[in-house]
Structure 1
Protein backbone atom coordinates (compact mmCIF):
# COMPACT_ATOMS: atom_id res chain seq x y z
CA UNK A 1 0.00 0.00 0.00
CA UNK A 2 1.08 3.54 -0.74
CA UNK A 3 1.65 5.61 2.36
CA UNK A 4 1.60 9.39 2.42
CA UNK A 5 3.44 10.88 5.38
CA UNK A 6 1.54 14.04 6.22
CA UNK A 7 0.09 16.14 9.02
CA UNK A 8 -3.03 18.19 9.56
CA UNK A 9 -2.92 21.66 8.04
CA UNK A 10 -0.17 20.85 5.53
CA UNK A 11 -1.35 22.33 2.23
CA UNK A 12 1.45 20.60 0.29
CA UNK A 13 0.31 17.29 1.78
CA UNK A 14 -3.22 18.02 0.61
CA UNK A 15 -1.87 18.65 -2.91
CA UNK A 16 0.10 15.39 -2.85
CA UNK A 17 -2.97 13.48 -1.65
CA UNK A 18 -5.11 15.01 -4.40
CA UNK A 19 -2.56 13.92 -7.01
CA UNK A 20 -2.52 10.36 -5.67
CA UNK A 21 -6.31 10.21 -5.71
CA UNK A 22 -6.41 11.64 -9.24
CA UNK A 23 -4.06 8.87 -10.33
CA UNK A 24 -6.36 6.27 -8.77
CA UNK A 25 -3.91 5.22 -6.06
CA UNK A 26 -5.02 3.48 -2.86
CA UNK A 27 -3.44 5.69 -0.19
CA UNK A 28 -2.94 5.36 3.56
CA UNK A 29 -2.35 8.78 5.09
CA UNK A 30 0.03 8.64 8.05
CA UNK A 31 -0.05 11.66 10.36
CA UNK A 32 3.49 12.13 11.63
CA UNK A 33 2.39 14.40 14.49
CA UNK A 34 1.49 11.45 16.72
CA UNK A 35 4.76 9.54 16.37
CA UNK A 36 8.01 11.05 17.65
CA UNK A 37 10.16 8.90 15.36
CA UNK A 38 8.17 9.79 12.25
CA UNK A 39 8.07 13.46 13.25
CA UNK A 40 11.82 13.48 13.71
CA UNK A 41 12.36 11.81 10.33
CA UNK A 42 9.77 13.62 8.21
CA UNK A 43 8.97 16.82 10.12
CA UNK A 44 10.56 19.19 7.60
CA UNK A 45 10.25 17.06 4.47
CA UNK A 46 6.54 16.21 4.22
CA UNK A 47 4.77 15.31 2.10
CA UNK A 48 6.61 12.05 1.45
CA UNK A 49 5.13 9.18 -0.55
CA UNK A 50 6.33 5.72 0.49
CA UNK A 51 5.86 2.36 -1.19
CA UNK A 52 7.68 -0.70 0.14
CA UNK A 53 10.48 1.46 1.53
CA UNK A 54 10.96 3.51 -1.64
CA UNK A 55 10.26 7.19 -1.09
CA UNK A 56 9.38 10.17 -3.23
CA UNK A 57 9.99 13.51 -1.56
CA UNK A 58 8.27 16.78 -2.30
CA UNK A 59 8.40 18.68 -4.60
CA UNK A 60 6.96 16.56 -7.39
CA UNK A 61 4.49 17.01 -10.21
CA UNK A 62 1.67 14.66 -11.09
CA UNK A 63 3.74 13.46 -14.05
CA UNK A 64 6.73 12.72 -11.81
CA UNK A 65 4.46 10.96 -9.31
CA UNK A 66 2.86 8.87 -12.04
CA UNK A 67 6.27 7.83 -13.39
CA UNK A 68 7.48 6.98 -9.86
CA UNK A 69 4.39 4.84 -9.27
CA UNK A 70 4.94 3.00 -12.57
CA UNK A 71 8.61 2.39 -11.78
CA UNK A 72 7.51 0.92 -8.45
CA UNK A 73 4.97 -1.42 -10.05
CA UNK A 74 1.77 0.57 -9.62
CA UNK A 75 0.24 0.58 -13.07
CA UNK A 76 -3.51 0.57 -12.37
CA UNK A 77 -3.61 4.32 -12.02
CA UNK A 78 -5.33 6.58 -14.55
Structure 2
Protein backbone atom coordinates (compact mmCIF):
# COMPACT_ATOMS: atom_id res chain seq x y z
CA UNK A 1 0.00 0.00 0.00
CA UNK A 2 1.47 3.38 -0.97
CA UNK A 3 2.38 5.76 1.86
CA UNK A 4 2.21 9.02 -0.04
CA UNK A 5 -0.15 10.86 -2.31
CA UNK A 6 -0.26 14.23 -4.05
CA UNK A 7 -3.26 16.49 -3.55
CA UNK A 8 -3.61 19.16 -6.21
CA UNK A 9 -5.58 22.01 -4.68
CA UNK A 10 -5.58 25.75 -4.06
CA UNK A 11 -6.16 28.08 -1.13
CA UNK A 12 -9.79 28.67 -0.24
CA UNK A 13 -11.05 25.51 -1.93
CA UNK A 14 -13.55 23.97 0.50
CA UNK A 15 -13.76 20.80 -1.60
CA UNK A 16 -9.98 20.44 -1.31
CA UNK A 17 -10.28 20.74 2.46
CA UNK A 18 -12.98 18.04 2.45
CA UNK A 19 -10.80 15.77 0.34
CA UNK A 20 -7.84 16.29 2.68
CA UNK A 21 -9.97 15.41 5.71
CA UNK A 22 -11.25 12.29 3.94
CA UNK A 23 -7.70 11.16 3.21
CA UNK A 24 -6.57 11.75 6.79
CA UNK A 25 -9.62 9.87 8.10
CA UNK A 26 -9.26 6.90 5.75
CA UNK A 27 -5.45 6.69 5.94
CA UNK A 28 -4.03 8.65 8.89
CA UNK A 29 -0.59 7.15 8.09
CA UNK A 30 -0.64 8.66 4.59
CA UNK A 31 1.96 11.28 3.72
CA UNK A 32 0.09 14.00 1.89
CA UNK A 33 1.94 16.37 -0.41
CA UNK A 34 -0.28 19.34 -1.22
CA UNK A 35 0.49 21.25 -4.40
CA UNK A 36 -1.20 24.59 -4.97
CA UNK A 37 -2.01 24.83 -8.66
CA UNK A 38 -2.20 28.64 -8.50
CA UNK A 39 1.60 28.89 -8.59
CA UNK A 40 2.14 26.80 -11.72
CA UNK A 41 0.54 27.85 -15.01
CA UNK A 42 0.63 24.34 -16.50
CA UNK A 43 -0.98 22.77 -13.42
CA UNK A 44 -3.54 25.55 -13.29
CA UNK A 45 -4.54 24.94 -16.91
CA UNK A 46 -4.67 21.18 -16.36
CA UNK A 47 -6.57 21.06 -13.06
CA UNK A 48 -8.43 24.33 -12.53
CA UNK A 49 -11.86 22.80 -13.23
CA UNK A 50 -11.09 19.47 -11.58
CA UNK A 51 -9.57 20.15 -8.14
CA UNK A 52 -9.23 18.49 -5.79
CA UNK A 53 -7.26 15.86 -7.68
CA UNK A 54 -5.27 13.05 -6.11
CA UNK A 55 -2.26 11.42 -7.76
CA UNK A 56 -0.61 8.26 -6.47
CA UNK A 57 2.86 6.80 -6.99
CA UNK A 58 1.68 4.99 -10.14
CA UNK A 59 0.57 8.38 -11.55
CA UNK A 60 -3.07 7.34 -11.45
CA UNK A 61 -5.42 10.24 -10.77
CA UNK A 62 -8.67 10.52 -8.88
CA UNK A 63 -10.76 13.62 -9.58
CA UNK A 64 -13.43 15.09 -7.34
CA UNK A 65 -16.15 14.13 -6.61
CA UNK A 66 -15.25 10.91 -4.84
CA UNK A 67 -16.60 9.15 -1.80
CA UNK A 68 -14.92 7.19 0.98
CA UNK A 69 -15.33 3.87 -0.84
CA UNK A 70 -13.76 5.20 -4.04
CA UNK A 71 -10.96 6.82 -2.05
CA UNK A 72 -10.18 3.56 -0.22
CA UNK A 73 -10.03 1.71 -3.55
CA UNK A 74 -7.74 4.35 -5.03
CA UNK A 75 -5.39 4.30 -2.03
CA UNK A 76 -5.08 0.51 -1.87
TM over 0.5: yes
1:36 aligned onto 2:41 = yes
The runs of 5 or more residues in structure 2 that have no matched partner are none
- Alpha-carbon distance in structure 2 between the residues aligned to 1:69 and 1:28: 14
Q: Equivalent residue for 1:10? A: 13
TM-score normalised to structure 1 length? 0.85
The runs of 5 or more residues in structure 1 that have no matched partner are 71-78
User: How many pairs were matched up?
Assistant: 70
After superposition, what is the alpha-carbon deviation per residue over 1:18-76, rounded to whole angstroms, capped at 9, x for unaligned?
01111222100100000000000001100000012110011001121011111xxxxxx
TM-score normalised to structure 2 length? 0.87
- Alpha-carbon distance in structure 2 between the residues aligned to 1:65 and 1:15: 12
Q: Of the two structures, which has the highest relative contact order with CA contacts closer than 8 Å and spacing of 6 or more? A: 2
